[in-house]
Structure 1
Amino acid sequence: MPEWYTLGVVALVIVAVVVVIVRFRVNPVIALALGAAAIGLLTGLGPVDTVSTMTQGFGDVMMEAGILIGWGVLIGAMLNELGAITRLVESLMRVFGRRGIPYALGLSLATYLQTIFVDVLIVIAAPLARRIAPRLGRVGTGIVGVTFAVGLEMGIVMMVPGFAAVALAGLLGVPLGVMMLGGFAVVAPTVVLTIVLMSLFFRLGFWNPERDEQVVVRDDDEAVASVSTGGAAQAVATGHDPLVSTETGSVRTRVGGVPRGPAGSRPVDREEREQPLLLLFAPMLVALLLIAAQAVLSVAGIEVPTMQFLGSPVIALLLAVIATGVIGRAAVGTKRIEKAVVKGFQDGGQIFLLTGIGGSLAAVIAKGDLGAVLQGYFSATSFAPLLLVWAMAAVLHIAVGSVTLSAITAAGIIAPVAATMGLDPLLIALAAGSGALFCIHVTSNTFWLLQTFLDQSVRGTLKTVTVGVSLASVIALGMTLLISLVLL
């Protein structure tokens, strides 16, 4: 096939996928599957090879990432049922105080809290965040908004156990321990620098409380955020905020189906026994430490059979699931933990399919000659393909509004180049994750959740989410390029 034809087919199909998702509201999983099939047929793979390649690509990615995503979903569902997040935020506030809480909370959201779904994290932690904001001064709401936005979004795509980060690692064949270490090397400084810079900008006048915050009427002591009819309609229109009541225009904060009481507290069930906070998070933290330790040993060329087994992500996270379940049963009873597990599987269904279909698309593209075609357009430096994958993910995200979808699609398209040029797949994953964070705006469900629950106006949310996370995206790209100098 001529070069122009191959590039043209892939470009047109990706544009078509974006259009059917945005304009016709087709589910991203179906749209990506159709796109993968179209690329295969139009580039000469033929019907049989197209289907087999899609199937193999789906299976290969799920073999790498499927079980890990499942374990993460289960851990997150159980921690949510145990009320661990609320207690954690309260503890961070006590320990780190007014000056340190944005950084402690931002790093927590971006790292070990990534087993919890983003929407759930926002709903659970928002009442406490609203209590923190006044302590940070006149621009406190803006600082809290940036902290949430940057921490949550960075963790999703760049930090294990974030499900998009796990999916990228599986798609590109990056060992999960390596992805975790590399992601942390980018995420930690990026989160801190972004909060520092945005806080400075806000204090210099970029944040105007009168215009960037909204007046909220709450039902006595209960965590209830009233939103304007327009804001509620916009949130409902995105299809992502089931807690919005179109009749009352209010949003009620719930955890595990139980209304939250004063100051984010939770009614205690008769069979519930409060466990030490460190104990609740211990299984997950130990699992992450085991994975990181094995990654370090692997890089150092040291083989320890026991660590190779326990530090395997599948085993480490499985042990964390079992231990969290045991602790949970002792704390809230077997029925509630079983219910949380069922809910976790329900919530994780689309993540499994999206991850697998991303692998199908990447496999179909890799089967053709796109890698050889793109290689001809790159110089010998590794910066060009990294900048390209960042820009590709950024454009896809602006169009589609999905951080996960844009990162996976961009990584799948550029993956053949990594193989032909000897570029470390970790760098591709980090660049794709960085680009997918650029310009989060009104098509994102996270945008509307943060606007509603953190008492921001749309104008204010554009500053904290769109500008703040875009700044993080650029900083993360810079960190990725620095890492590339070390690895290459």
Structure 2
Amino acid sequence: MDGLTISWIGALAGLALAIILILRKLNPVYALFLGAIAGALLGGATLNETIQVLTSGTQSVMGTVLRVLAAGVLAGVMMESGAAETIAKAIVKKFGGGKAILALALATMIITAVGVFIPVAVLIVAPIALSVGHKMGLSKIALLLALSGGGKAGNLISPNPNTIAAANGFNLDLSQVMMAGFVPAVFGLAVTVLVASLIKRKGVLVSEAEAANQNEADESNYPPLKTAIVAPLVAVVLLMLNPVGAILGIELLESFKVDAMFILPIAGIVGMLAMGKASKILDYSASGLNKMTATVLLLLGAGGIAGLISKSDLSTQIVGIIEASGVSGTLLAPIAGILMGAATASTSTGVILATGSFGEAILDMGTAPLAAAAMVHAGATVIDALPQGNYFHVTAGSMYMTIKQRMGLVPYEVLVGGTMTVVSTVLYGFLL
């Protein structure tokens, strides 16, 4: 098995088959596994070698899977307690209608940044956006760009599966990757607000019926803001103790090395206690686990096809093309993120494939692990909102948009993700 090298043609064929099957509505997990099997066989592997390729690939993502499952506790607490909604409403209320686009983008960014999945963050803020959009005469495409762009920015600095995958793929602490995404995320937020403001009258407006159709949730059991922010605040403080200690040279803080697998559940439990929801610990953790299950299965499927690509000479071929073109080898990291994110229409799956398939080649070209993680992570946000992915359809439904209307948003999302990738590449690939 160690000497096995699968043909790059087989690897590409397997990846293409997986994408086609996903577009044909086959469950993405099965599509990825079938693509990996077909690619390995076409690339010259025997049946036994094919099983070993899949096994080694799925084993490589187990560290990420464990941390994603642990993050389910924090996610469950934020979503089920109403804490996420409390934070979102507080931000929008603070900024008022005059700065609606900034408020909506910032709200989605923060909700995503504190550990809520980006599709769920969009669903949480969408009813507020529809109501505000109708009152202010804002178009749906501008509203959804505010939500999606803000969510993309938040995703770069969140303890979500994509960030966990980027950290684990290059053997880094989660906090390091979160901090590395901060500056690109700020640029992403700024571009989101600017572009959304420019197109706020473009396209279909929110109808009165759509605005009226937003059922007001029972907020009587929602926690107040001062307790709603406890869980994410504890998570951020604990995650940042080590890197802050290293920066400031404080030995006590620098010696605090606790993995995110412990920190995220602890933050969720502390937040639960602060909100007086201790009796709900079983319900919230079960809900968080259920929400993570689909992501975990997808990560295993991605691990299978990453095993295929890593055992092929595809990365060697791509490196050869980059060297022949005279382009800096540093660009392999963002290119890998962009291609894999687009192929799977998923940031987290794209990061898994990019790190598992091209990670070694990226590091061999002289790129530092943190720079590689930051650039791959940002790259995976560029073209990840395509029809073969769940995010595309969930966000379209949240704003009552047709497929055609939703496709019209993709170029603007590419602009936001592209900005964050360019900033990340310049900052970590060339300046630092």
Same fold (TM over 0.5): yes
Matched residue SS, 1:16: helix
Paired AA for residue 332 in structure 2:
P
1:217 to 198, 205, 209: 209
Tell me, yes or no, if structure 1 residue 327 matches structure 2 residue 274. Answer: yes
How far does residue 434 in structure 1 lie from its aligned partner after superposition? 2.7
How far does residue 357 in structure 1 lie from its aligned partner after superposition? 3.6
Tell me, yes or no, if structure 1 residue 292 matches structure 2 residue 240. Answer: yes
How far does residue 150 in structure 1 lie from its aligned partner after superposition? 1.3
Change (3 A) 1:412 1:479: same
Q: Tell me the distance in 2 between the aligned counterparts of 1:452 and 1:48.
A: 44
How far does residue 311 in structure 1 lie from its aligned partner after superposition? 5.0
Question: For residue 357 of structure 2, what is the aligned residue in structure 1?
Answer: 413
Matched residue SS, 1:26: coil
Runs of 5+ consecutive residues of structure 2 not aligned to the other structure: none
Structural mapping, 1:383-398, within 5 Å: 383-386=330-333, 388-393=335-340, 395-397=342-344
Question: For residue 55 of structure 2, what is the aligned residue in structure 1?
Answer: 55
Q: Tell me the distance in 2 between the aligned counterparts of 1:439 and 1:48.
A: 34
How far does residue 14 in structure 1 lie from its aligned partner after superposition? 0.9
Q: Report the TM-score, using the length of structure 2 for normalisation.
A: 0.84
1:471 to 401, 415, 423: 415
Structural mapping, 1:121-136, within 5 Å: 121-134=121-134
How far does residue 49 in structure 1 lie from its aligned partner after superposition? 5.2
Question: For residue 453 of structure 1, what is the aligned residue in structure 2?
Answer: 398
How far does residue 438 in structure 1 lie from its aligned partner after superposition? 1.9
Q: Tell me the distance in 1 between the aligned counterparts of 2:179 and 2:381.
A: 20
For residues 323-368 of structure 1, what are the alpha-carbon distances to aligned partners after superposition, in whole Å with 9 as ceiling and x for unaligned? 123235x24x62x442232222122112112223433433443345
Change (3 A) 1:68 1:288: farther
Paired AA for residue 143 in structure 1:
A
Query: What RMSD in Å do the two structures reach over aligned CA positions?
Result: 3.3
Matched residue SS, 1:378: helix
Paired AA for residue 102 in structure 1:
I
C-alpha contact (below 8 Å) 1:9/1:43 kept by paired residues? yes
Q: Tell me the distance in 1 between the aligned counterparts of 2:360 and 2:153.
A: 25
Structure 1 range deviating more: 31-40 or 190-199:
31-40
Paired AA for residue 200 in structure 1:
L
Question: For residue 258 of structure 1, what is the aligned residue in structure 2?
Answer: none
Structure 1 range deviating more: 65-74 or 426-435:
426-435
**Paired-residue identity, %:** 19
Q: Report the TM-score, using the length of structure 1 for normalisation.
A: 0.75
Tell me, yes or no, if structure 1 residue 11 matches structure 2 residue 12. Answer: yes
Paired AA for residue 304 in structure 1:
E
Q: Which has the larger radius of gyration?
A: 1
How far does residue 128 in structure 1 lie from its aligned partner after superposition? 1.8
Runs of 5+ consecutive residues of structure 1 not aligned to the other structure: 225-263
Paired AA for residue 229 in structure 2:
F
Aligned length, in residue pairs: 423
Change (3 A) 1:477 1:122: closer
How far does residue 77 in structure 1 lie from its aligned partner after superposition? 1.6
C-alpha contact (below 8 Å) 1:431/1:480 kept by paired residues? no
Q: Tell me the distance in 1 between the aligned counterparts of 2:132 and 2:304.
A: 44
C-alpha contact (below 8 Å) 1:108/1:151 kept by paired residues? yes
Matched residue SS, 1:359: helix
C-alpha contact (below 8 Å) 2:23/2:387 kept by paired residues? no
Structural mapping, 1:29-428, within 5 Å: 29-43=29-43, 47-48=47-48, 50-63=50-63, 65-114=64-113, 115-134=115-134, 137-139=136-138, 141-156=140-155, 158-202=156-200, 207-208=202-203, 212-213=204-205, 215=207, 217=209, 223-224=214-215, 264-266=216-218, 268=220, 272=221, 275-298=223-246, 300=247, 302=249, 304=251, 307-309=254-256, 312-328=259-275, 330-331=276-277, 334=279, 336-379=280-323, 381-386=328-333, 388-393=335-340, 395-397=342-344, 401-428=345-372
Matched residue SS, 1:161: coil
Q: Tell me the distance in 2 between the aligned counterparts of 1:26 and 1:416.
A: 31
